[in-house]
Amino acid sequence: MSIALSLGNNLTTGGIFKPTAVNNTSVNNVTDFASIAGGSTLVLLSTQTASASASISFTTGIDNTYDEYIFKWINCHPASNDSFQFNCSTDGGSNYNVTKTTTFFAAYHYENDSSTFLGYNINADKDLLNDYQTINSGVGGDDADNSCVGYLHLFAPSSTTYVKHFIARGQHISQTPYTYENYVAGYFDTTSAINAIDFKFATSNIDDGIIKMYGVVKS
């Protein structure tokens, strides 16, 4: 009876809990919470900040703990106009040279509305090549406010049965200037475990920027 009265006193006539229904006392008395649908499934594993860096590498934490890893780069600014790239390693970062097959398409729009584009970029894809894959093509570096952002999903990198799939999306401002968005996907053609990843600009340093690595909790 007392429980019912307490519950009733904390409800409005419309059946909504009053702000006073949950307080320090009531929360402290709770012994268990049920799982909440839609909760966060990302675990931040590492954050690295560039400062005139030749590259940013993640050489630990990529293992079978997670089936998917997400990398986010935030406001990466090149020393000069350049393309942002990545590659993976199967030997802990001693070599970044995993063979890959990829696809790349993009869209751009000039600030002055003089030109637009949507199409496939045959110069940015790979066919069983082991060099670095472009994920932001032609980032403006001459202007101080230019940078690139994006995210990369790497799936089951520790599998020793299947190739390693990835998808990525990037957005940046080019020197003209115009906004440039690109979509990249493909697979690393190896059944060896991938255990390191490297991000860099093709020919210049990463003057500034942040790259984060997340693990996606297994369901």
pLDDT tens digits for 151-209? 999 999 999 999 999 999 999 998 889 999 999 999 999 999 999 999 999 999 999 99
Confidence of residue 135 (pLDDT cuts 50, 70, 90): very high
pLDDT level of residue 9 (50, 70, 90 thresholds): low
Interval 75-103 mean pLDDT: 97
At 170, the amino acid letter reads G
Who has greater pLDDT, 82 or 176?
Answer: 82
27 contacts: CB under 8 Å, gap ≥ 6 = none
* DSSP string of 116-183, one letter each residue: EEEEE-TTS--EEE-SPEEEEEEE--SSTT--EEEEEEEE-TT-SSS-EEEEEEEEEEETTTEEEEEE
**pLDDT at 27 exceeding the cut of 90:** no
- Domains of the chain, with CATH numbers? 42-216 (2.60.120)
Residue 85's pLDDT band (cuts 50, 70, 90): very high
Report whether pLDDT(103) > 60.
yes
- The confidence band for 219, taking pLDDT boundaries of 50, 70 and 90, is confident
Q: What is the pLDDT of residue 36?
A: 47
Greater pLDDT, 144 or 39:
144
Place of tokens 């001459």: 142
Cβ–Cβ under 8 Å, residues 61 and 46: yes
The Cα–Cα gap between 83 and 166 comes to 19
Look at residue 50 and tell me whether its pLDDT is greater than 80. Answer: yes
The region of weakest confidence among 25-29, 45-49, 72-76, 191-195 is 25-29
pLDDT over 90 at 78, yes or no: yes
**Residue 3, φ and ψ in degrees, nearest 5:** -65, -40
Q: How confident is the model at residue 121 (pLDDT cuts 50, 70, 90)?
A: very high
pLDDT score at 176: 86
Identify the band that residue 8 occupies on the pLDDT scale cut at 50, 70 and 90.
Answer: low
Among 57-61, 141-145, 199-203, the range scoring the smallest mean pLDDT is 141-145
